[in-house]
Amino acid sequence: MTGASLDWRSSASGPLHGVVPVPGDKSVSHRAMMLAALAEGTSHIHGFLEGEDTRATAAAMQQLGVRIDTAGDGTRVVHGVGLHGLRACAAPLDCGNAGTGMRLLTGLLAGQAFDSTLIGDASLSKRPMRRVTDPLEQMGAQIATHDGLPPLHVRGGRALQGIRYTLPVASAQVKSALLLAGLYARGETEVIEPHPTRDYTERMLAAFGWPIVFSPGRARLAGGHVLRATDVTVPADFSSAAFFLVAACIVPGSELLLPAVGLNPRRTGLLTALRLMGADISVENEGESGGEPVGDLRVRYAPLHGVELPEALVPDMIDEFPALFIAAAAAEGTTVVRGAAELRVKESDRLASMARGLRTVGVVVDEQPDGAVIRGGRIGGGAVDSHGDHRIAMSFAVAGLRAAAPIRIGDCGNVATSFPGFMMLANRCGFALSDAG
Ligand code: S3P
């Protein structure tokens, strides 16, 4: 599934300029593919992210008997089989590197008439799954794990019962898994979050015609309805845009325009954080696409200063910390991050990966159990490891723009999980990024 080990070299360059069309949103693409597969009728997904993570979800739905075509313009055409139309697949479903794919599919498969097995790559095989399997088992599901880790063996033919569940940790993946299982459950399933998280599953269920009541931090639905095919336009992924936002913020003279980026408020915490640090970012052409707020982001260089990041921002920028750490390293003064222990169970332990990498390039970082204190200033050169984590790799590609000597980044193959074409887009706007051989 994941790319071969591939090292990159990123060097300082002149100002960044141009228009950067980043690919489709990963979270929206996973959900659109799953709901379209379960819908009655044919759905078109425009702008589907053709990354390894979301392609793994599409492949899993195909293995379960769903016909999916790709139109000439790249639109995915999904011939839905209806809520009860999936077919058993004897082979394991390989989610690759994708936590979202695996956790959401677990919820979806818990209500099927047949057994399934979900597997993942080395990184995914180390990520905690009890946060999903425990509440699903409370609903009546039966799921075997390896000590809480993948592979997951999901037993079919179970009668699910809706529950009211308060999440111990804010997680859109867990919320979504329970809502997907709730489609198959008797009675109501209600999920309550300690802090609101991205609500794509809720919005998209409504778009596919399923009755659902939701507000920030709370969602409730009942089983026994029908999903009706609909067309989805996937906005550009804010989390992919984040690398270019930070890049333009830290390279003097830069100005970039990122068109039609998804601006769901549960995703844009980094905008607030960078503005607190002094960034010059404006939103233009605000509108709506497929029920999601979108806008063009214009970012111009501005000197950044360190901040104490408000903890309330953490869930709204949960995937953007690697990029934020680079902004902090390039800023004047100290940045303090707290309340972000969840970063330890992402595609890598992102607090450890970033702290180690930044220290390697001469930045003073005090890693803490739930965050870090980063002293901004000079970034040097050196060889860092991405730990197979796409966002760590792209973050150090950005750091290289401000580094006194080239940064070599180990193991960048996984960038293709979320951002195929990153290197090409980056170099087109002025990065000096190359294969290190
Ligand atoms: C996601 C939710 C977040 C995020 C991940 C995508 C989603 O994970 O980090 O990249 O699409 O629901 P958690 O639910 O574990 O916070």
193 lines ligand 1 (CB under 6 A): no
Look at the block and give the residue holding tokens 């080990």: 5
CATH number of 8-24+235-435, picked from 3.40.50.1820, 3.40.50.620, 3.65.10.10, 3.30.70.260: 3.65.10.10
Beta strands in 265-416 (DSSP E): 280-289, 292-300, 334-337, 364-368, 371-375, 382-385, 407-410
Q: Indicate the pLDDT class of residue 3, thresholds 50, 70 and 90.
A: very low
| Model pLDDT for residues 222-272, shown as the tens digit of each residue | 999 999 999 999 999 999 999 999 999 999 999 999 999 999 999 999 999
Q: Residue 290: its pLDDT value, please?
A: 75
318 lines ligand 1 (CB under 6 A): yes
Region 201-208 average pLDDT: 97
Which one of 27, 57, 316 would you pick to mutate in the ligand 1 pocket, going by the greatest count of ligand atoms within 8 A of its CB?
Answer: 27
Residues 131 and 197 sit within 8 Å (Cβ to Cβ): no
Angle between helices 238-250 and 269-276 (to 10 degrees): 10
Angle at 414 between CA 296 and CA 255, to 5 degrees: 25
Listed by start position, the domains of the chain span 8-24+235-435, 26-233
Q: How many whole angstroms from 147 Cα to the centroid of ligand 1?
A: 22
What do you get for the CA distance between the two ends of the chain, in Å? 21
Q: Indicate the pLDDT class of residue 65, thresholds 50, 70 and 90.
A: very high
Q: How many whole angstroms from 178 Cα to the centroid of ligand 1?
A: 14
Region 398-422 average pLDDT: 97
CB-based contacts of 244: which residues, under 8 Å, 6+ apart?
16, 20, 22, 256, 258, 299, 426, 429
Residue 369 DSSP SS3: coil
281 has a pLDDT exceeding 60: yes
Region 185-204 average pLDDT: 97
Q: Residue 1: its pLDDT value, please?
A: 39
- Least-confidence region, from 285-289, 297-301, 313-317: 285-289
Q: Is 199 a catalytic residue?
A: no
Q: Residue 437: its pLDDT value, please?
A: 77
Question: Comparing 8-24+235-435 with 26-233, is the CATH topology the same?
Answer: yes
Angle at 10 between CA 403 and CA 56, to 5 degrees: 130
C-alpha to C-alpha distance for 193 and 164, rounded to whole angstroms: 11
386 lines ligand 1 (CB under 6 A): no
Region 114-135 average pLDDT: 98
57 lines ligand 1 (CB under 6 A): no
Q: What is the amino acid identity at position 293?
A: P
| Burial bucket for residue 379 (CB in 10 Å: 0-12, 13-18, 19+) | buried
C-alpha to C-alpha distance for 44 and 235, rounded to whole angstroms: 14
Q: How many whole angstroms from 100 Cα to the centroid of ligand 1?
A: 6
Within 121-263, residue ranges assigned H as helices are 130-138, 172-182, 200-207, 238-250
> How does DSSP assign 223-284, residue by residue?
SS---B---EEPPBPHHHHHHHHHHHHHSTT-EEEEEEEE--TTTTHHHHHHHHTT-EEEEE
Spatial CA neighbour of 179 closest among 69, 34, 66? 34
| pTM confidence score | 0.97
> What are the beta bridge partners of residue 255?
17, 300
Q: Residue 2: its pLDDT value, please?
A: 42
Q: Residue 251: its pLDDT value, please?
A: 98
Reply yes or no: is the peptide bond before residue 151 cis, omega within 30 of 0: yes
| Burial bucket for residue 327 (CB in 10 Å: 0-12, 13-18, 19+) | buried
Q: How many whole angstroms from 437 Cα to the centroid of ligand 1?
A: 33
| Model pLDDT for residues 328-345, shown as the tens digit of each residue | 999 999 999 999 999 999
Residues 60 and 101 sit within 8 Å (Cβ to Cβ): yes
Mean pLDDT over all residues of the chain? 97
| Model pLDDT for residues 158-173, shown as the tens digit of each residue | 999 999 999 999 999 9
Q: How many whole angstroms from 432 Cα to the centroid of ligand 1?
A: 31
307 has a pLDDT exceeding 80: yes
> What are the beta bridge partners of residue 258?
297
Region 104-122 average pLDDT: 98
279 has a pLDDT exceeding 60: yes
> What are the beta bridge partners of residue 10?
407, 433
Q: Which two tokens stand for residue 169?
A: 């940790």
Region 286-313 average pLDDT: 95
Q: Of 25, 94, 296, 319, which residue is the catalytic one?
A: 319
DSSP 161: B
27 lines ligand 1 (CB under 6 A): yes
Fold for 26-233, please state it. UDP-n-acetylglucosamine1-carboxyvinyl-transferase; Chain (3.65.10)
Q: Which two tokens stand for residue 103?
A: 């956790």
| Model pLDDT for residues 5-64, shown as the tens digit of each residue | 699 999 998 999 999 999 999 999 999 999 999 999 999 999 999 999 999 999 999 999
| Nearest ligand 1 atom, CA 30 | 11
Which one of 105, 123, 173, 321 would you pick to mutate in the ligand 1 pocket, going by the greatest count of ligand atoms within 8 A of its CB?
Answer: 173
Look at the block and give the residue holding tokens 């037993």: 155
Number of H helices, E strands in the chain: 12, 23
Q: Indicate the pLDDT class of residue 289, thresholds 50, 70 and 90.
A: confident
C-alpha to C-alpha distance for 130 and 138, rounded to whole angstroms: 12
Q: Residue 218: its pLDDT value, please?
A: 98
